[in-house]
Each structure stands twice: as C-alpha cells, then as structure tokens.
A = this chain, B = another copy of it.
Amino acid sequence: MKIICPKSELQKSVSIVMKAVPSKTTMPILECILIDAATNDIKLTANDMELAIETRVQGLVIEKGVLALDAKIFSDIVRKLPDNDVTIETDEKLNATITCEKAKFNIPGKSGEDFSYLPLIEKEGCIRVSQFTLKEIIRQTIFSIAVNENNKLMTGELFQIENNMLRVISLDGHRISIRKIGLQEECEDRKVVVPGKTLNEISKILSGELEDMVDIYLSSNHILFEFDDTKVVSRLIEGEYFKVDQMLSSDYETKVKINKRELLDCIDRATLFVKEGDKKPIIINIQDGQMELQIDSQIGSMKEEIDIEKEGKDIMIGFNPKFLIDALKVIDDEEVSIYLMNAKAPCFIRDDNQQYIYLILPVNFNAVSR
C-alpha cells in the first residue's frame, strides 16, 4: 500500500475515528485504525464492537492495499508531523513508513484480516436533521442519563419518532429531560434507545452547523448516522424504555416565572457549601413576588432572595442543587417557568410549547430543624 494525504486532512479523519477506539480491550486488533485503500478511495475505520466509525480521507492512492496501525501511535505521529503531504507506505512485512518532509517514522503494521468493518444497515426511512440540532438536543439531555450500569436502559437515551416529531428523553431515577423537535420530512413512527456513550462521541464529531445535515437510519439492532464523509454505526440498547408520559402532569398549584441567569448564579453560589457526596439540599421558599434560597451546612450558610412572578400557593421545597443547575444550564430562554404541586411532588421546568420539559424530584428536608 502507498498513499499520500495532506496532513490536515489525515489529522481530521484520524481524530474522528479515534472516538471509536476502545481505551481498554482484550482484542489488540480493536486498538488499531484500519486504513483501507483497496479502491481509489482512502477510508479510515475504527470499531470497538459497540460503536464503529468510518470516514473518507482526501488523498491519493499510489498503490492499493489495506493496513491496520496502532491507533494511539498513529494519531500521535500524525498530530506532530509538519503541515505538508504525508506518505504512508508498507513493505511486504507490513512495516509502515510514514514520511513528511524530512521526517521519517517506522512502525509495525498489521493486516486488516481480523478487522471488523461497519455492520451493514439498510438505508430505509431516513430521518434528516441538521448537525446543529442533533448536537444541541444531545447536549440538552445527556446530563441526566444514569452513570452506573445497574439499569442498562438508563445509560441510553430514548429517540422516539411520533407524528413527524423527534422526542429525545433521558432519565436517571431522580429527574427526566425531554426535548422535542419537528422533522422536515415524513417519517415512520419508531422508538429506539441509543447508548449515551455513542451520543457523547458523535456530538464531538458533529460540526454543529445549521446548514450541515445528518441522515439517521434505524435497523432492529443498530443506528446509523451519516454526515459529511463519515458514517457512525452504534448498537442499540435492547428492552422496553420507561413509560415517561405517565410521569408527566400538567397540573400545578404554584407557577413561578424567574430570570434564569439570576437563579442559576444563586444556586451556583449555594453549592459552595455542598461538598461532593454530601446531600445538602437547597431550600426554596416561594412567596408572593419573591423566592428565598437557603443552604445550611457544617461549613457555613447562605441565603439569597430573587424577584419572581408567582401564581398560586406559597410553597417551601428542597432540591439537590446540582439537578437544578444541570437543567437551567441547557435552557436558552432568558426567563423560565417552574411548575410545582407540593413539597413531595416533582417540579417541572418547561416552556409553553413543551419543546423542553425538565422534571426534577424534590429532596426531603426537615423544616423544623432549620
């Protein structure tokens, strides 16, 4: 094999496929990037058996062939090369020589024999969204997937297509995040659970531009994202996702309108007194025209008031401050509406069109001991 690619192109493509290289594995071939120049196209592939990424590199095939290179070493070399054309060449023993200007690297290669290419997904029923939208919708929901693997379904996000809307849902037992967007083209109703890791990695690759599109295809076990010169295929998480609609309610006893920035800054200050692992709630006391936030801990205490617009009853309720911060951070509105029922029922932060809904369970607190 012998190929020539501009360094910048090669670096971009290597960094894309690196997202599917496992950090630890018992199968050494998975630690490699496959360079496939069997045709006149040059393709890079990496595959950790859950997530597989293939991307095309701009470049010239001088001698056709296939080669697998240790991903870590190959990417380090490419990153440090001068900004010029890079030649990658193998001898009959699959030793690779990487040359750029006067720099010449020799590293051992492997044949691509044992390498797993991307699973084939039939391209039926394309779901098309902009890269911006997909990246945003992931950012706005991914924080409330579960960290531990006790319940596999909670480590993924529900992608639900219904009436030409895409609804993305994540939950971890303490809170639920829901985002909804309209789809431009007619789509069949479907629902699948996509691993959180896949979504994290793909959002790092997406350009985030409104005019760049992503085509999404579903099979019974896989999801395929196609965009630019890249294909990302991920396994789906099997099983029936939680019936979220039963947990949502539009009833409320108290409605609060509040400046998002003020609330976020205030809760952020309160978390000073919350050490990691410590479950100190922030206590919110809602009265006419004013919300008082208070936190008490062994280190010290903090109290602050914020002006609000209130409808309905007064209420005092406690929350894990982190959950409020996570949700408020990904809401772009200047003013948010919070809906509350009582001190033991979840609160809802949602907009009028319900394009976003954040449900957060309250924390018990002993009102007497304050």
Contacts and interface: CB of A to CB of B under 8 A. Distances in A.
A39 interface: no
A265 B104 contact: no
Q: Can you tell how many copies of this chain the complex includes?
A: 2
Contacts of A81: 269
A136 interface: no
A63 interface: no
A147 interface: no
A269 to B, nearest CB: 5
Contact of A304 (B103, B266, B301): B103
Contacts of A305: 102
Given A80-B272, A272-B80, A300-B108, A266 B103 contact: yes
Nearest to A290: B102
Contact of A107 (B107, B265, B300, B304): B300
Nearest to A81: B269
Interface in A62-103: 73, 76-77, 80-82, 102-103
A368 interface: no
Given A102-B304, A108-B300, 18 more contacts: A76-B272, A77-B269, A77-B272, A80-B265, A80-B268, A80-B269, A80-B272, A102-B306, A103-B266, A103-B302, A104-B302, A104-B304, A105-B269, A105-B300, A105-B301, A106-B301, A106-B302, A107-B299
